[in-house]
Amino acid sequence: MELSTARYLEPEPTAPIILPNGPDEMSWTEVTKGLFTVFGGYVIGMLNVCGIVALLWYTTDEFKKSIDQVSGNPFTVLLLGGAVSFFASLISSYLLIRGKWRCVVNAPEQRGAKWLMFASVVCICSGPALHLASGFAKAATVTQKTDEVEIKPGLERSMIRYVEELRENDSAAYLRLMGCVITPLGPIFFVLFLRAIHRCLGNIAAARVSELYLLFIVLLAVGSLSLLFDPSVKVRFDLLAILGIAWLVGMAWFFLLILSAVFGISAHLNAPRPPAEPL
């Protein structure tokens, strides 16, 4: 006769993984998958930008002539490179939208994480749409150019012409301005989303690193615009090299922020957890 009753007892349940102020295990796993997809989209986008710069450098003879002056074999290379760049842009945009929307669906609402990612999706979709609309509006209007604008060199001339278009209530200029303002907000809202994720996980140090990154990027953008558009600042090779290195540091920092969020979630999911209290 067997007197053991252990086999008739139900096994002791274990507690589901509920992270601090966050969803359950399955939702956090989906967030990590979305972040990996976003990571891939940004990598393809960055490589595409580098490829475009290299393509223009080669076909325009080290930027010594304009694109409309390219002919012969360089023109063929420009067409093929442009086609590759176009499809790479489509792939990058698809991965970004897919990954970010996956995060929107599964991210917690605490710390505003879900809505920060939603704002990032809206920005990366509306920014290019506004630029496209400004191109159609620009093609439908004819802008008069003054002699004062034509004698200004390079970027300064373009800036003065753009200001004149705004004064003339040119719809294309306002659409382009809105696109230039909204497009950079997409990555900014994404970094704020990563900051919110770290705060949900209780990782305050990583959240502060995200804030330092935003401060670094804002200062770097202001310095770059000042160098390009301020006529009192003379563009030198050493300044351009420093800015290039700084942007590379910012790019690497951005990717590390994404990976830190992924590894932070994985660490919490793999952490030992106590069993559930009996009912």
Q: In this predicted model, which residue has the larger pLDDT, 212 or 276?
A: 212
User: Does position 78 have pLDDT exceeding 60, yes or no?
Assistant: yes
Half-sphere exposure of 246 (CA within 13 A, CB side): 16
Q: In this predicted model, which residue has the larger pLDDT, 149 or 87?
A: 87
Distance between alpha carbon 168 and the CA centroid of its chain, in Å? Answer: 33
Neighbours of 209 (CB within 10 A): 17
d(CA 174, CA 275): 59
d(CA 49, CA 46): 5
φ/ψ (deg, to 5) at 171: -65, -35
Residue 33 is predicted with a pLDDT of 92
Domain ranges of the chain: 23-106
Mean pLDDT of the region 204-221? 93
SS3 label, residue 134: helix
Residue 158 is predicted with a pLDDT of 58
pLDDT tens digits, residue range 121-138? 998 888 777 767 766 666
Give the pTM: 0.76
Neighbours of 38 (CB within 10 A): 24
Residue 250 is predicted with a pLDDT of 92
Residue 8 is predicted with a pLDDT of 54
Question: What are the tokens at 179?
Answer: 């696109």
Confidence band for 120, pLDDT divided at 50, 70 and 90 = very high
Residue 20 is predicted with a pLDDT of 47
pLDDT tens digits, residue range 226-240? 777 666 666 677 777
Half-sphere exposure of 93 (CA within 13 A, CB side): 15
> Exposed, middle or buried: residue 196 (CB in 10 Å: 0-12, 13-18, 19+)?
buried
